[in-house]
Amino acid sequence: MLETAELEKRKRGRVRKAGVTQKRRAKAGALTGAPASGHLWYDRPGDPAHFLAMEETGREAVATAVQRVAGMLQRPDQLDKVEQYRRREARKKASVEARLKAAIQSQLDGVRAGLSQLHSALNDVKDVQQSLADVSQDWRRSINTIESLRDVKDAVVRHSQLAAAVENLKNIFSVPEIVRDTQDLIEQGALLQAHRKLMDLECSRDGLMCEQYRMDSRNTRDMTLIHSYFGSTQALSDELAKQLWMVLQRSLVTVRRDPTLLVSVVRIIEREEKIDRRILDRKKQTGFVPPGRPKSWKEKMFAVLDRTVTTRIEGTQADTRESDKMWLVRHLEIIRKYVLDDLVVAKTLMAQCFPPHYEIFRNLLSMYHQALSTRMQELASEDLEANEIVSLLTWVLNTYTRCVAQFRLGLSVRCAVTLFLLASNIIAWLRKALETDKKDWVKETEPEADQDGYYQTTLPAIVFQMFEQNLQVAAQISEDLKTKVLVLCLQQMNSFLSRYRDEAQLYKEEHLRDRQRPHCYVQYVVAIINNCQTFKESIVSLKRKYLRSAGEDGVSVSQPSMDGVLDAIADEGCRSLLEEVFLDLEQHLSELMTKKWLSGSKAVDIICVTVEDYFNDFAKIKKPYKKRLTAEAHRRVVVEYLRAVMAKRISFRSPEERKEGAERMVREAEQLRFLFRKLASGLGEEADGYCDTITAVAEVIKLTDPSLLYLEVSTLVSKYPDIR
């Protein structure tokens, strides 16, 4: 009984579930307009398929309803609840119908609102269309009106031109007279009155031209006519400016005799500055700029003063240098006296003649400082003797510093360092030393050797002897200067090494054009490589000697490291030597893995002999670079051997022939290993692994079992991934 009851319960559950599913489908169809069944709701109602779908849906609905009612009336006591079930289903049906009506009403309201907006938009479009038609009609009627007003417009333009002409008529008729009066005033030195008349002329000219530009900017004929009529105005302006610059050039003398003349000049410049500003402001509105504007006389005034100061410093040079050993001391004393006197006059007198915002004294002091720096650099670039260098630096650090200190302006001693470098002529000296060294590279004799037998040239000794001399002179003046000179010497050394590298490259290229010349090419490349090690050691020694403490070493550490540049030069030299070796080995390397090689060629024997012969010369390379050279030669010989293997120059015709070739490869690998062990002895360098590659390839070649080939090749590739 329990089992029967459980089965009935499950059956009722399935019926109830089917009814809920059917109800959900009906609800979804009511909201979306789709039928509750799984048929296509978008079939056209008139299609036979549509009617068939409706019939099928009806049958499914009846069947579902029957199942549902059967589920509800399983027991007799459920008949009493038939009326309750009916009311519940009626409520559900009413609820679904209400939701369906609400959805349809919402859709209808949206459609109604859309139609209303479309109707409103249609009315707006009609209004716009009517407005456009009215505008078009008005525009057509206005064309004739505009054409009838053209004569009025032309009359207005002529009236405006005539009004401007009448306003300036008096000045226009009096232009020749004003020009003559202005010229006379300039010649008489009445600069203020002359400038007043000049301003009147320019005002009349600029007013007429501005009016013409405003009315018709493309009428160049009238603009040219006005400009030519006032043509003398620009010449008067140039003549007045010439007089102003002459006064400014003699300002240090004029301010003592007639300061009012200098004040007049400054007032004229101030007037012109105001006119320039006013015209530039008007340009933003009208776009018109009179000819010759802006004059920028204030900027030109400072340029004239700067040239005057420079000329005054240059005028202190003496012509007795050849006959007077104290010429530099006398020259520096004259400069000191002139500079001090001029600055006193500038501070006490000239500053009273200029507006405060000109800062005339500060600007003059800067001009004198720049002129003195330039003059000191010119003196330093000359071929001075050691005592003259000391005199020059002492004057800069002591006399000049005290001189400017009177005017409360602190100057850095950096200029002194620059003067010292220029005085010692480091750049020219380094260039000359390199040119001398290059001449040695083409000699027919081998380079000299040091006490240990390594080839070298005199270049490192010359360069660091020069540095030593400069640093010793700097040390006599001050410790701070000595440190700065060391830093700058190292900077110049860094630039020099770049040129040294370029010249070494050119030396190699010249040799490759004709390998017979120069005769001692290999030996001098060895010397260049050794020089790099000498430069390294000398730089370390120089720092250790001229830096007092570890704290000062921070100054030099910040300079560009030269070790990298020196290593690059040495590495390029080693590559050049190896290129020389492999050019001689090229023919013998091409014999490897050929029929001739298999039949008993002596190619590897010749290769070993040639390499060993070259390395007899390479024995005079210093240890750090010889170690690199040996390792690279070993690697490259093995690589060339493997290239010969990969080039498929030979095809073995039988297993015996392959075995013979592989055994020959093993013997030659051992031969090369012995050679490079011998060359690397004493260098602490062991690189037998290179030749092991040849042996590994030989093992693959002499295989007799094809099934092991994949395993051997995979092992070879995993052990040497860079082999093809």
Q: Which of 505, 492, 532 has the alpha carbon at shortest distance from 441?
A: 505
The DSSP call for residue 449 is B
% of the chain residues with pLDDT over 90: 16
Residue 525 is predicted with a pLDDT of: 93
pLDDT one-digit tens code per residue, 597-619: 888 888 899 999 999 998 888 88
Least confident of 28-32, 321-325, 368-372, 627-631: 28-32
Q: Residue ranges per domain, the chain?
A: 2-122, 169-295, 302-422, 446-576, 590-719
Residue 550 is predicted with a pLDDT of: 39
The DSSP call for residue 296 is -
Please name the amino acid found at residue 615. F
Residue 322 is predicted with a pLDDT of: 57
Highest mean pLDDT among 45-49, 254-258, 376-380: 254-258
- Split at pLDDT 50, 70, 90, the class of 686 is low
Residue 10 is predicted with a pLDDT of: 45
Least confident of 509-513, 521-525, 682-686: 682-686
The overall average pLDDT reported for the chain is 79
Residue 39 is predicted with a pLDDT of: 39
Q: Which of 262, 366, 247, 374 has the alpha carbon at shortest distance from 306?
A: 366
Q: Which residue has the higher pLDDT, 103 or 394?
A: 103
What is the Cα–Cα distance from 226 to 209, expressed in whole angstroms?
7
Q: Which residue has the higher pLDDT, 195 or 705?
A: 195
Mean pLDDT of the region 513-540: 90
Least confident of 101-105, 483-487, 643-647: 483-487
Long-range contact set of residues 396-402: C-beta below 8 Å, sequence gap at least 24: 397/477, 397/478, 397/481, 399/332, 399/336, 400/336, 400/372
Q: From residue 224, how far is each of 154, 170, 208, 311 by CA, in Å?
A: 21, 21, 12, 41
Helix (H) or strand (E) holding 708, with range, is none
Residue 534 is predicted with a pLDDT of: 92
What is the Cα–Cα distance from 647 to 594, expressed in whole angstroms?
10
Residue 118 is predicted with a pLDDT of: 93
Residue 414 is predicted with a pLDDT of: 47
Mean pLDDT of the region 392-416: 61
Residue 601 is predicted with a pLDDT of: 84
Task: Return the CATH class of domain 446-576.
Answer: mainly alpha
Phi, psi (5° rounding) for residue 469? -60, -45
Residue 649 clears pLDDT 70, i.e. is over it: yes
Which two structure tokens, joined as six digits, stand for 601?
């060629």
Highest mean pLDDT among 166-175, 330-339, 534-543, 551-560: 534-543
What is the Cα–Cα distance from 370 to 411, expressed in whole angstroms?
12
Mean pLDDT of the region 424-452: 85
pLDDT one-digit tens code per residue, 250-287: 988 888 888 889 999 999 999 989 988 888 888 887 77
Residue indicated by tokens 């070259």: 614
Least confident of 302-316, 392-406, 547-561, 564-578: 547-561
The answer to whether 203 and 271 are in contact (CB under 8 A) is no
Residue 420 is predicted with a pLDDT of: 54
Residue 312 is predicted with a pLDDT of: 86
pLDDT one-digit tens code per residue, 482-511: 887 788 788 888 889 999 999 999 999 999
Q: Which residue has the higher pLDDT, 273 or 8?
A: 273
Phi, psi (5° rounding) for residue 294? -75, 145
What is the Cα–Cα distance from 408 to 365, expressed in whole angstroms?
11
Residue 407 clears pLDDT 50, i.e. is over it: yes
The DSSP call for residue 446 is P
Residue 20 is predicted with a pLDDT of: 43
How many CB atoms neighbour CB 58 within 10 A? Answer: 11
How many CB atoms neighbour CB 8 within 10 A? Answer: 13
Long-range contact set of residues 178-183: C-beta below 8 Å, sequence gap at least 24: 179/232, 179/233, 179/236, 182/236, 183/236, 183/239
Q: From residue 146, how far is each of 138, 532, 607, 667 by CA, in Å?
A: 12, 90, 102, 109
Chain centroid to Cα 132, Å, comes to 57
Residue 192 clears pLDDT 80, i.e. is over it: yes
Mean pLDDT of the region 331-359: 87
- Split at pLDDT 50, 70, 90, the class of 122 is very high
The DSSP call for residue 349 is I
Residue 486 is predicted with a pLDDT of: 84
Residue 132 is predicted with a pLDDT of: 92
The three-state secondary structure class of 590 is: coil
Residue 533 is predicted with a pLDDT of: 92
Residue indicated by tokens 């479009």: 125
Residue 64 is predicted with a pLDDT of: 86
Residue indicated by tokens 């011998």: 678
Cβ within 8 Å of residue 491, ≥6 positions away: 559, 560
Q: Which of 506, 567, 559 has the alpha carbon at shortest distance from 535?
A: 567
Residue 36 is predicted with a pLDDT of: 42
The three-state secondary structure class of 471 is: helix
Q: Which residue has the higher pLDDT, 450 or 426?
A: 450
Mean pLDDT of the region 147-161: 73
